[in-house]
Amino acid sequence: MTLRILIAFLLLTGVFTSTADAKQFTTQHRGRQVVVHSSPFPVILHKLVPPNVGRHVTIRQYQAGRLP
């Protein structure tokens, strides 16, 4: 649990210190809603929260069709 908190802290620090805007949109894939992000940082943060695993993907994964 402590490792997850440390990883989340480091990722949040990276997200809030970056100047890039992360765009996002929702779409349907195989009957379920997925959230597509332009930056990998939000995807990594959302994967730390168990209900969101597989729901948030990067734009590269979406365009390549490599969705979980």
What is the mean pLDDT of each successive set of 10 residues along the chain, which is 68 residues long? 79 62 81 86 76 80 82
For residues 35 and 24, the answer to whether their CB atoms sit within 8 Å is yes
pLDDT at 9: 77
At residue 59, the pLDDT reads 87
Alpha-carbon distance values, 13 to 26, 33, 41, 63 (Å)? 25, 28, 10, 28
pLDDT at 18: 55
For the chain, the domains span 2-64
> What is the distance between the alpha carbons of residues 30 and 25, in angstroms, rounded to a whole number?
16
| pTM of the predicted structure, to 2 decimals | 0.60
